[in-house]
A and B are shown apart, each in its own frame.
Chain A
Amino acid sequence: MSSKKWLKLWVLIFSISILLVALFNYKIDSLGLVAKKGYLDLAAKALANGKIISGLNNFDERLFRKKIIENINYEIEWIAIGSSRTMQLRKRMFLKKDVGFQNYSVSGASLEDYMALIQAHYNKFNSYPQNIILGIDPWIFNRHNGQNRFLTLEDEYNQFLSILGHDNKKQHESTNNYKKLFSVEYFIENLKFVKNNFDSGLKGFEIVTSIDIDTQLREPDGSIQYPLKSRFPDSNEVKKSAIQYTKGSVYSLERFDRINNKKLFNHFVKFLQQNKITVYFYLPPYNPYTYDILVEKKEYQIINEVELFLSSLANKYNIKIIGSYNPHKYGFTNEDFFDGMHSLDSVYIILFKDLIAI
């Protein structure tokens, strides 16, 4: 074969293979990145309409939260934003039935997520909620936290920053979702999705009527229910995993040198208050085994430093603090957790009882 003919063949095969992958990714789009009416939209709509959802796995949580916000058609007076450590906060734990509440928490939430989600809320309702519970993890103030998942909501984040009067000095790579169509990672993700959801006709989620089933669920208020193993854990296993957690790299807390984002956070809180929003700081406790080991280590001083910083800020702005990273302050034990950093519902119920009194 001549080299010229070979080149033509090469171009043909290359183009076909790339096109096939892109078409497959577009058709399945398991993360709902490009399709306008994908399964994530349907799931978001169902949740916003009061349904309980199961079967959602491995999707872009930020995008999903945005879709939920866009589908809500009732007034929301309370929102909670935090990481997975705030995700189990449910409306029924501290609010009356007729008050609108949504838990906007996303995994590994960072300060950028708070801003982006509040902006997404504003864009939908043209107003801010009256009360915001900020579930604050220490890593928010670690400049090496490695969190950049907020980029899905980069537009909202930039919008909020400009309202705050801050320039976004960070230049981020384009988050053009269409790039994902040409991604082998996304192709594999979609293949898995097809495999796991083939029997249900590639629906991607199920609407269920009860929370008493052994799977991960999303409640209509945005909170999460973990599978039964995490809801009713074996305390010995929890202890083991809590200790093990401190041995490796501790999620997003590594390479901490000084509290970062102080100024921006200050400005952010001030802005919320100026807009007549009542702000609450929620400091999710750690498992006592994890906490005791971490606070002993010099490299995890961030935990103490952030708590002190938040206390002084709360004093300054008259903000109520709910909880503490230190579980001993409230007498929490290993039995109140299902791993090193995630508490059971019991912790939320105890801590948020105080809030009802307000």
Chain B
Amino acid sequence: MLFNSYAFIFIFLPISFGIYFYLNHLRLTTAAKGSLVFASLFFYSWWNVLYLPLLLGSMLFNFIIGKSLSEAKRVRPKILLIIGIVGNLALLGYFKYADFFIANVNVLLGEDALPMLNLALPLAISFFTFQQIAYLVDSYKGETNEYDFLNYAVFVTFFPQLIAGPIVHHKEMMPQFASRWNKVKNYRNIALGLFIFSMGLFKKVVIADTFAVWATNGFDKAEVLTFFEAWATSLSYTFQLYFDFSGYTDMAIGAALLFNIKLPINFNSPYKALNIQDFWRRWHITLSRFLRDYVYIPLGGSRTGSFRTHANLFATFLLGGLWHGAGWTFIIWGALHGLAMVLHRIWSKLGIVLWKPLAWLVTFMFINMTWVFFRATSFEDAWKVLKGMSGASGVVLPNVLANRLSFLKNHGVEFGGFVENIQGDFSIPFWILGALVLVLGFKNTNEKLVAFNFNLWSAIFVALTFSFGILSLTKVSEFLYFNF
């Protein structure tokens, strides 16, 4: 079930909300929690019920290990932790990376050396695996005290964050589910939840889905991209991904807030970043937090000298790239970001400070160009876009400029449909400009949430934004982060 579907908004969400609070109202709190787990499993099964046993099995496995880690010391905890982590990584590795591994072996040994498994990636496996690895590590450190499977099931499956994050910690969720105050309908939270959900819906269905058309045409359909087409393609994807993921996160936070649950912030205006480190503190914050706490620091973090620090940083980003997808383009993307982080660290140590607009431009352009690898399904496609962006595939200006700028013809510039290969039109520059203004010139939804005013204007604004989102639902589209 998609957040941006009639079924979710008008049927699933109101029913699960109503049942949860009604049962709590009757003081049947365990049943209420059970209803939330059932609703979440139903939500998950709506996509493909075949993966439900996998989710349940993974939950049971981690719950048993986690419980043993927290309460008993009969078995050496370190061995238990290793078993738990290896179990999780084996599951993720099998479904997500087995075919990638086989394909690479076949490249080395010959086309049919190993048969492909052709496994379909179970939905949300990357998210629920990471979340549970974090739980095991926290249990090992003695930071959890969870003995109840139902509570654990709520923590893992809570539907607003199950499919695409944010990646939450046990310790930040369980006290909220346990709180007596959170079991009562809270009109303020409902209103704020609706506000943030509406913003997310609008970002997704109105903005991201508009950019999606040009990005898809540019990356997947066009054979050649001229200069403006290539830039329109890469920028379209840059904004599609931003508004898609940020929209999803807003909707998740909003839906959770209806249940009085505050999910952690996952987005903090990342395109306002002035350097790559700043970007990663703002983009997919909960993933960065996970990678920092469970990969970078265990590797030694910055405690073991400058070379090791840089190597750890690079390795963490390489893994981050691989987590996003089993493909060399993702690895390249991760490596480029890792390299940029290392360079930024060296740069900062040298005390070089760039003029802020220049720093923003360098950062944004780097992110925009590296998203090309993130989005392209092959190196050929990535090369096609980057080549176009460099101008090596020609420059075509709009026909309307042909008379005024005819002298450019002598320099190889052509006139015609300047975004024809991506089936675009003159609205593209305005959309890109508009998106830039939105991401740079306005406070983000989290900031707006803090300063929210309950007045007539906010009611009109939120209701119209929500209406516009609902009225744009006729073309239902999936979220990008569902693939990771």
Contacts and interface: CB of A to CB of B under 8 A. Distances in A.
Contact of B221 (A10, A12, A254): A254
Interface in A183-202: 183-187
A18 B471 contact: yes
B113 interface: no
A259 to B, nearest CB: 21
B306 interface: no
Given A3-B454, A9-B459, A182 B470 contact: yes
B471 A7 contact: no
Interface in A173-229: 173, 179-180, 182-187
Contacts of A18: 467, 470-471
B456 A1 contact: yes
Interface in A1-30: 1-7, 9-14, 17-18, 21
Contact of B223 (A7, A10, A173, A248): A248
Interface stretch (B184-192, B285-293, B361-369): B184-192
Contacts of A12: 463
Name the interface size band of chain B.
20 to 34
A328 interface: no
Nearest to A17: B467
A166 interface: no
A13 B463 contact: yes
A247 interface: yes
B236 to A, nearest CB: 16
Contact of A10 (B194, B471, B472): B194
B450 interface: no
A183 B475 CA distance: 9
A127 interface: no
B464 A17 contact: yes
A173 B194 CA distance: 28
A14 B463 contact: yes
A176 to B, nearest CB: 10
A126 interface: no
Nearest to B416: A244
A292 B168 CA distance: 58
Interface string B185-205: 001101100100000000000
A340 to B, nearest CB: 13
Contacts of A3: 187-188, 190-191, 454
B51 interface: no
A249 B471 contact: no
Query: In this complex, which of B423, B456, B474 has the most chain A Cβ atoms within 10 angstroms of its Cβ?
Result: B474
Overall SS of chain B's interface: helix
Interface string B208-233: 00000000010001111000000000
A186 B358 CA distance: 43
Given A247-B223, A247-B421, A6 B474 contact: no
Contacts of B459: 1, 6, 9-10, 13
Interface residues of A, number: 30
A14 B224 contact: no
Nearest to B194: A10
Interface string A45-67: 00000000000000000000000
Contact of B191 (A6, A173, A184): A6
Given A18-B467, A184-B471, A249-B217, A1 B455 contact: yes
B458 A248 contact: no
Contacts of A247: 223-224, 421
B209 to A, nearest CB: 11
Nearest to A20: B467
Contacts of A7: 187, 190-191, 194
Nearest to A6: B454
A330 B455 CA distance: 73
B464 A2 contact: no
Contacts of B421: 247-249
A184 B417 CA distance: 28
B420 interface: yes
A15 B474 CA distance: 18
B463 A10 contact: yes
Given A244-B420, A247-B421, A183 B466 contact: no
A11 B188 CA distance: 15
Interface string B303-336: 0000000000000000000000000000000000
Query: In this complex, which of B217, B221, B459 has the most chain A Cβ atoms within 10 angstroms of its Cβ?
Result: B459
Contacts of A5: 454
Given A244-B420, A248-B420, A254-B221, A10 B474 contact: no
Given A10-B462, A247-B224, A248-B222, 14 more contacts: A1-B456, A6-B455, A7-B191, A9-B456, A9-B463, A13-B464, A14-B467, A17-B463, A17-B467, A18-B470, A182-B470, A182-B471, A184-B471, A249-B222
30 contacts: A1-B455, A2-B187, A2-B454, A4-B187, A6-B191, A6-B455, A6-B458, A6-B459, A7-B190, A9-B459, A10-B191, A13-B460, A13-B464, A14-B467, A17-B464, A17-B467, A182-B474, A184-B468, A184-B471, A184-B472, A185-B472, A185-B474, A244-B416, A244-B417, A247-B224, A247-B421, A248-B222, A248-B223, A248-B420, A249-B223
Interface of A: 1-7, 9-14, 17-18, 21, 173, 179-180, 182-187, 244, 247-249, 254
